[in-house]
């Protein structure tokens, strides 16, 4: 029984291995953590295997079993550290095993019963377990941990690991660094002059030459391709060069002189340490002080996970789901949340900067977003998961992260303050004193005022933090719960009106803001699209557009909360008799409303980023504030109701209002911003005349008012068109004439004959000369407009002047689009 025989000799071997150094280690030998002096060494003593104190030192002390280079630099280590009672056994079964003080296995070479009969540490630092015929069964070179030394072959399938990071060689010869085995944050291919001239590699091998060159060899390559040079390349002397994946996620080449015990960095794979994914932990922001990467938190809404180790990342002081106040976006300029493959398409969008921020705010699975702001229009959404931030003044990107409001910015960096510290100290004190004193004064004043005004109010002091001034000022839409809106409208009691999209109710928010709450009906879009539309609408700000304050999206409830307009809608003034409503508009106000409306629509068509075709311009959608400033409402809603692209909307889904609808709606032709011009023309005529454009009466010879009005205009009977209520008023006839002419230009049947909205503004203002408008009906009476025939559609191409046009055939694949108009490019089409 050979095994029994060997066992009998065990004590003798143990004795021998401890007293005389042997290149060969026999089964039964052990190393004890309690005796770091005891090691297994290579024949020339360059390398030794034994326990070394863990770095950083721990209390109670712990030890790591490691193969070290002369001087103590570790190049291989089998795993976690053990306490001082731990031991490394080369068992007689042939397994090498690391145990802790309680004899629990920490690591095992898994070579039991594979015939291992001896072990040796050679002069290159390789620990090899051999069987009876001397074949290597296991070696430390084949099972690398985080380091590669010269003469160690690193092949495809092998991996270096350090914490969350790993380093791999890919079959095509690329070297990659990965975080959590999934995010590739560094990927370097072979020099293109090498790959262009050679076929696919078969079995690439990464090797570090003793002189400090990192190469990839392959049977298909005539000579090994050079990947990197260490900067002390070819420097002579007793130097060991090694490649190590550090716990900071970077791979470096180091040199260590024999016996010194230090290592000097000679090359690093990732030159910008902040580009290493996750270097500062989750939600940590990497930046540089003079030279070193440092980690911080995005703002004081966050706290470090481990105050002693800034690399552990940050967490929100208040989780979003527990946030009692409103959730808002923290803006981080010159900051990027690192983005590496694999990134899914659902996280990459082409939208503008503000939409990148707002879409994330109103979308639930979105935690943060980064807009590259470099002209690519790229926006990256970050769903809850790991966020790795990078800040440097050189970055153009802006990033946004959800926080529970209000935002508390970081204090100015310690670097800045260090530079100017002395100078600032004195002034700072003065400023602090002044600020504190004035704050106290203000608070006292405000408190007094509050008390004065609210002492009789039962809800004194019940101001909800949700509607804090800060939130409104930021311009971001507030999300309301259905309950809140029910409460603020007293159960939807006071109806202000009913538009094409649903009824509107008056409401009063907790902060006493009066609002108009629109309860949307017939919304076919899902929650996500609704939120995106809300983001687009609320990113549209103009004096002549009604401002969206917030929204509610809960179950099937979809509500929009707008600012309240004291004077209601334009139709009340125009069409109700004075006795009915007591409302009357002077010509001055009418002209102001016409101009303001035109400006608001110009903004929607031409000036805002995601251009919007309104599709339902009519007096009911033009609201007036207390100073008779007009504000266009209901913009951006048409898209919500019809899932189809505006341009191919069918008659059945027409949501606009008859009388204001441009003829192309009925002819099934492309809907462009020119369709809004038509509707505006009709509204303008009504502002002048105070009558519905489609009204038919004896006075108009049983014709539609708009058609009758043109004939009167031709005859020069302007007075007949003007609202009779204006007869004894002071009216600027120049303005009236301009308004009437603009009307007829706008309601031309032929879209390309209608001016752009910006032009309309100039025409009304009298800045641009306009010719006498042709009959709006010229075309409908002529033979030109036809219903589209299957296959091709008859369409009209924009003429170079108002007075001539031509007809051309276009195929459906190239729908006629008036190129000078802003088409209905809504945010969804960008996102899909
Ligand atoms: C290790 O060696 C050093 C000096 O060579 C000696 O001072 C120390 O006591 C030794 N430790 C043990 C545990 O033998
Ligand atoms: C440690 O455990 C192994 C089995 O896992 C056993 O064979 C050995 O005797 C134990 N050693 C001590 C010192 O308890
Ligand atoms: C040692 O391993 C080699 C290769 O795996 C094998 O061919 C040989 O038979 C083994 N020898 C013994 C004694 O197990
Ligand atoms: C590394 O690869 C070379 C060439 O394939 C080979 O000669 C050498 O023995 C290998 N080294 C080790 C330690 O396996
Ligand atoms: C790492 O990846 C695994 C699975 O891919 C995932 O479950 C885990 O959450 C990831 N770790 C971190 C810190 O994100
Ligand atoms: C290899 O690396 C190069 C960059 O050096 C990169 O362009 C290429 O896509 C990579 N190939 C693969 C398969 O990852
Ligand atoms: C690629 O390798 C060739 C020759 O080895 C060298 O001249 C060239 O500079 C290298 N190119 C790059 C981009 O490293
Ligand atoms: C290299 O591999 C690619 C895909 O694996 C294959 O399409 C191509 O033909 C190969 N080239 C050569 C020269 O073998
Ligand atoms: C930069 O940061 C490093 C590491 O935190 C620190 O040791 C060093 O003193 C800092 N340098 C300056 C100029 O603040």
pLDDT per residue over 151-163, tens digit each?
999 999 999 999 9
Q: What's the pLDDT score for residue 729? A: 85
Distance 116 CA to ligand 2 centre (A): 20
Q: Is residue 49 part of a domain?
A: yes
Substitution candidate for ligand 9 out of 287, 293, 294, 309 with most atoms within 8 A of CB: 294
DSSP state of 604: I
Q: Whose CA is nearest to atom 3 of ligand 1?
A: 37
Q: Whose CA is nearest to atom 2 of ligand 5?
A: 180
More confident residue, 420 or 231: 231
Q: Whose CA is nearest to atom 10 of ligand 6?
A: 189
189 lines ligand 6 (CB under 6 A): yes
State whether residue 108 is helix, strand or coil: strand
Distance 39 CA to ligand 1 centre (A): 12
pLDDT at 213 over 80: yes
pLDDT at 459 over 90: no
Model confidence pLDDT, tens digit, residues 509-544: 887 888 999 888 766 667 777 887 788 787 788 889
Q: Can you give the C-alpha Rg of the chain in angstroms?
A: 39
Q: Whose CA is nearest to atom 13 of ligand 7?
A: 191
729 lines ligand 6 (CB under 6 A): no
pLDDT at 824 over 60: no
In a shared domain, residues 246 and 213: yes
Model confidence pLDDT, tens digit, residues 617-657: 999 889 998 888 999 988 877 766 544 433 333 333 445 66
Give the atom of ligand 3 at the shortest distance from the alpha carbon of 134. 1
Look at residues 371, 387, 404 and tell me which one is the last residue of a structural domain: 404
Question: DSSP string covering 643-666, please?
Answer: -S-GGG--GGG--S-TTTS-HHHH
In a shared domain, residues 385 and 397: yes
Q: What's the pLDDT score for residue 427? A: 63
pLDDT at 691 over 50: yes
Model confidence pLDDT, tens digit, residues 342-353: 888 778 888 888
- Give Cβ neighbours of residue 784 (< 8 Å, ≥ 6 apart): 750, 794, 796, 807
Beta strands in 276-326 (DSSP E): 284-288, 293-296, 302-304, 314-316
Distance 37 CA to ligand 1 centre (A): 6
Which residues, in sequence order, are bridge partners of residue 240?
256
Distance 130 CA to ligand 3 centre (A): 9
First to last CA, the chain: 75
Q: What's the pLDDT score for residue 105? A: 94
Q: Which ligand is nearest to the CA of 39?
A: 1
In a shared domain, residues 235 and 353: no
Q: Exposed, middle or buried, 102 (CB in 10 Å: 0-12/13-18/19+)?
A: exposed
Q: Is residue 813 part of a domain?
A: yes
More confident residue, 437 or 454: 437
pLDDT at 194 over 90: no
Q: Whose CA is nearest to atom 3 of ligand 7?
A: 193
Substitution candidate for ligand 4 out of 47, 142, 151 with most atoms within 8 A of CB: 151
Model confidence pLDDT, tens digit, residues 261-285: 999 999 999 999 999 999 999 999 9
In a shared domain, residues 777 and 790: no
Q: What's the pLDDT score for residue 316? A: 95
Q: Is residue 19 part of a domain?
A: no
Distance 85 CA to ligand 2 centre (A): 13
In a shared domain, residues 238 and 318: no
Question: Contact at 8 Å (CB) between 325 and 404?
Answer: yes
Which residues, in sequence order, are bridge partners of residue 265?
254
Q: What's the pLDDT score for residue 133? A: 92
Q: What's the pLDDT score for residue 502? A: 80
In a shared domain, residues 126 and 257: no
Distance 192 CA to ligand 8 centre (A): 16
Q: Whose CA is nearest to atom 9 of ligand 8?
A: 200
Helices (H), 462-515: 469-473, 482-488
231 lines ligand 4 (CB under 6 A): no
Q: Which ligand is nearest to the CA of 194?
A: 7
- What is the number of structural domains in the chain? 6
Q: What's the pLDDT score for residue 154? A: 96
Q: How many CA atoms lie within 13 A of 103 on its CB side?
A: 0
Give the atom of ligand 1 at the shortest distance from the alpha carbon of 37. 1
Mean pLDDT over 291-317 rounds to: 94
Q: Is residue 444 part of a domain?
A: no
Mean pLDDT over 389-418 rounds to: 83
Look at residues 355, 384, 404 and tell me which one is the last residue of a structural domain: 404
In a shared domain, residues 790 and 767: no
Q: Is residue 578 part of a domain?
A: no
Model confidence pLDDT, tens digit, residues 693-718: 888 888 888 888 888 999 899 998 88
Report the candidate in 493, 511, 492 with the shortest Cα–Cα distance to residue 552.
Answer: 492
Count CB atoms within 10 A of the CB of residue 317.
14
Rounded distance, CA 198 to CA 173, Å? 12
State whether residue 603 is helix, strand or coil: helix
Q: So which residues are the catalytic ones?
A: 616
Distance 292 CA to ligand 9 centre (A): 6
Mean pLDDT over 291-306 rounds to: 94
pLDDT at 817 over 80: no
Helix (H) or strand (E) run with residue 214 in it: strand 213-217
Q: Is 778 left (phi over 0), alpha (psi -120 to 50) or beta?
A: alpha
Q: Is residue 237 part of a domain?
A: yes
Q: Is residue 713 part of a domain?
A: yes
Q: What's the pLDDT score for residue 94? A: 92
Rounded distance, CA 482 to CA 474, Å? 23
In a shared domain, residues 41 and 130: yes
pLDDT at 823 over 60: no
Band of the pLDDT at 790, cuts 50, 70, 90? very low
193 lines ligand 7 (CB under 6 A): yes
In a shared domain, residues 232 and 264: yes
Q: What's the pLDDT score for residue 428? A: 62
In a shared domain, residues 378 and 476: no
200 lines ligand 6 (CB under 6 A): no
Q: Whose CA is nearest to atom 9 of ligand 3?
A: 133
Q: Which ligand is nearest to the CA of 183?
A: 5
pLDDT at 792 over 60: no
Band of the pLDDT at 453, cuts 50, 70, 90? low
Highest mean pLDDT among 186-200, 432-446, 796-810: 186-200
Q: What's the pLDDT score for residue 469? A: 38
Mean pLDDT over 757-785 rounds to: 74
Substitution candidate for ligand 5 out of 161, 163, 166, 180 with most atoms within 8 A of CB: 180
Band of the pLDDT at 750, cuts 50, 70, 90? confident
Distance 295 CA to ligand 9 centre (A): 11
Q: Whose CA is nearest to atom 4 of ligand 4?
A: 153
Instruction: Residue 505: give its domain's CATH number.
Output: 3.30.200.20
464 lines ligand 8 (CB under 6 A): no
Q: What's the pLDDT score for residue 36? A: 84
Share of the chain above pLDDT 90, in %: 41
Question: Contact at 8 Å (CB) between 625 and 565?
Answer: yes
Mean pLDDT over 411-432 rounds to: 58
Mean pLDDT over 550-572 rounds to: 87
pLDDT at 493 over 60: yes
Residue 719, annotated as binding a ligand? no
Distance 103 CA to ligand 2 centre (A): 6
792 lines ligand 8 (CB under 6 A): no
Q: Which ligand is nearest to the CA of 286?
A: 9
Instruction: Residue 92: give its domain's CATH number.
Output: 2.90.10.10
Report the candidate in 693, 435, 640 with the shortest Cα–Cα distance to residue 528.
Answer: 640
Rounded distance, CA 308 to CA 285, Å? 16
Q: Which ligand is nearest to the CA of 85?
A: 2
Mean pLDDT over 127-131 rounds to: 94
Band of the pLDDT at 296, cuts 50, 70, 90? very high
Q: Whose CA is nearest to atom 6 of ligand 8?
A: 200
Highest mean pLDDT among 34-38, 87-91, 288-292, 450-454: 87-91
Instruction: Residue 757: give its domain's CATH number.
Output: 1.10.510.10
pLDDT at 500 over 80: no
Share of the chain above pLDDT 70, in %: 79
Give the atom of ligand 8 at the shortest distance from the alpha carbon of 200. 1
Rounded distance, CA 816 to CA 674, Å? 13
37 lines ligand 1 (CB under 6 A): yes
200 lines ligand 8 (CB under 6 A): yes
Q: What's the pLDDT score for residue 237? A: 82
Q: Which residues of 151-181 are buried (b: 16+ CB within 10 A; e: fewer)?
A: ebebebebebebebbbbbbeeebbbbbbbee
Q: What are phi and psi of 690, to 5 degrees?
A: 70, 20
Please provide the average confidence, as pLDDT, over all residues in the chain. 80
438 lines ligand 4 (CB under 6 A): no
223 lines ligand 7 (CB under 6 A): no
0.85 surpassed by pTM: no
Highest mean pLDDT among 326-340, 422-436, 523-537, 818-832: 326-340
In a shared domain, residues 642 and 774: yes
Mean pLDDT over 736-743 rounds to: 93
Look at residues 783, 803, 818 and tell me which one is the last residue of a structural domain: 783
In a shared domain, residues 642 and 730: yes
Mean pLDDT over 55-81 rounds to: 90
Report the candidate in 545, 553, 549 with the shortest Cα–Cα distance to residue 635.
Answer: 545
Helix (H) or strand (E) run with residue 426 in it: helix 414-454
Residue span of the structural domain in which 492 resides: 468-563
Rounded distance, CA 627 to CA 640, Å? 31
pLDDT at 800 over 70: no
Q: Is residue 288 part of a domain?
A: yes
């Amino acid at each position: 029984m050979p095994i029994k025989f060997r066992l009998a000799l065990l004590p003798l071997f143990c004795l021998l291995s401890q007293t005389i150094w042997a290149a060969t280690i026999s089964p039964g030998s052990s190393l004890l953590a309690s005796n770091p002096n005891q090691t297994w060494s290579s024949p020339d003593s360059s390398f030794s295997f034994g326990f070394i104190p863990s770095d950083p030192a721990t209390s109670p002390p712990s030890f790591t079993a490691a193969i070290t280079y002369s001087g103590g630099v570790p190049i291989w280590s089998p795993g976690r550290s053990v306490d001082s009672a731990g031991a490394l056994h080369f068992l007689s079964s042939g397994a090498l095993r690391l145990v802790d003080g309680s004899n629990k296995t920490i690591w095992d070479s898994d070579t039991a019963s594979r015939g291992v009969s001896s072990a040796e540490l050679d002069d290159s630092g390789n620990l090899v377990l051999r069987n009876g015929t001397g074949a290597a069964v296991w070696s430390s070179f084949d099972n690398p941990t985080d380091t590669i030394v010269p003469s160690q072959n690193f092949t495809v399938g092998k991996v270096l690991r350090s914490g969350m990071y790993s380093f791999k060689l890919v079959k095509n010869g690329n070297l990659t660094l990965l975080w959590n085995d999934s995010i590739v944050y560094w990927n370097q291919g072979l020099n293109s002059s090498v790959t262009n001239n050679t076929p696919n590699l078969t079995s690439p091998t990464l090797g570090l030459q003793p002189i400090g060159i990192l190469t990839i060899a392959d049977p298909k390559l005539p000579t090994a391709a050079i990947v990197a040079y260490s900067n002390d390349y070819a420097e002579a002397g007793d130097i060991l060069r090694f490649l190590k994946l550090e716990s900071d996620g970077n791979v470096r080449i180091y040199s260590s002189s024999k016996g010194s015990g230090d290592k000097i960095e000679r090359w690093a794979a990732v030159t910008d340490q902040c580009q290493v994914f996750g270097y500062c932990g989750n939600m940590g922001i990497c930046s540089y002080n003079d030279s070193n990467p440092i980690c911080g938190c995005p703002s004081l809404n966050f706290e470090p996970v481990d105050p002693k180790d800034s690399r552990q990342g940050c967490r929100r002081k208040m989780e979003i789901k527990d946030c009692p106040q409103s959730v808002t976006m923290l803006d981080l300029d010159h900051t990027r949340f690192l983005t590496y493959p694999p990134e899914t398409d659902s996280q990459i969008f082409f939208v503008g900067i503000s939409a990148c921020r707002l879409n994330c705010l109103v979308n639930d699975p979105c935690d943060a977003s980064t807009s590259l702001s470099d002209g690519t229009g790229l926006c990256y959404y970050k769903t809850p998961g790991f966020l790795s931030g990078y800040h440097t003044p050189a970055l153009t990107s802006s990033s946004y992260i959800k926080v529970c409001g209000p935002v508390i910015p970081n204090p100015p960096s310690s670097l800045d303050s260090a530079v100017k510290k002395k100078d600032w100290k004195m002034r700072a004190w003065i400023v602090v004193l002044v600020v504190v004193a004035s704050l106290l004064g203000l608070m006292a004043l405000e408190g007094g005022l509050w008390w004065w005004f609210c002492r009789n109010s039962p809800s004194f002091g019940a101001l909800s933090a949700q509607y804090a001034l800060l939130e409104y000022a930021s311009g971001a839409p507030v999300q309301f719960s259905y309950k809140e809106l029910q409460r603020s409208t007293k159960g939807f009691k006071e109806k202000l009106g009913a538009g094409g999209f649903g009824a509107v109710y008056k409401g009063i928010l907790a902060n006493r803001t009066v609002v108009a709450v629109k309860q949307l009906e017939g919304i076919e879009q899902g929650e996500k699209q609704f939120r995106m539309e809300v983001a687009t609408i609320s990113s549209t700000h103009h004096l002549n557009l009604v401002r969206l304050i917030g929204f509610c999206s809960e179950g099937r409830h979809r509500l929009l909360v707008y600012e309240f307009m004291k004077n209601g809608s334009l139709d009340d003034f125009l069409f109700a008799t004075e006795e009915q409503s007591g409302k009357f508009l002077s010509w001055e106000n009418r002209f102001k409303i016409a101009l303001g409306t035109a400006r608001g629509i110009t903004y929607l068509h031409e000036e805002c980023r995601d251009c919007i075709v309104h599709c339902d311009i009519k007096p009911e959608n033009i609201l007036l504030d207390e100073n008779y400033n007009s504000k266009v409402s209901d913009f951006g809603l048409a898209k919500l109701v019809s899932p189809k692209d505006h341009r191919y909307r069918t008659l059945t889904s027409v949501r606009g209002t008859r009388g204001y609808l441009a003829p192309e709606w009925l002819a099934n032709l492309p809907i462009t911003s020119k369709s809004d011009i038509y509707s505006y023309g009709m509204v303008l005529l009504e502002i002048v005349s105070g009558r519905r454009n489609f009204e038919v009466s004896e006075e108009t010879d049983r014709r539609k008012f708009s058609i009758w009005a043109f004939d009167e205009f031709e005859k020069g009977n302007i007075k007949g068109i003007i609202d009779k209520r204006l007869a004894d008023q002071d009216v600027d006839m120049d303005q009236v004439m301009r308004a009437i002419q603009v009307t007829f230009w706008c309601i031309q049947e032929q879209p390309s004959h209608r001016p752009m909205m910006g032009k309309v503004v100039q025409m009304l203002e009298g800045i641009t000369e306009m010719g006498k408008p042709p009959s709006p009906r010229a075309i409908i009476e002529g033979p030109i407009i036809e219903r589209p025939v299957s296959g091709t559609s008859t369409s009209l191409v924009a003429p170079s002047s108002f007075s001539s046009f031509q007809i051309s055939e276009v195929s459906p694949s190239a729908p006629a689009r008036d190129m000078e108009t802003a088409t209905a490019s809504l945010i969804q089409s960008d996102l899909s």
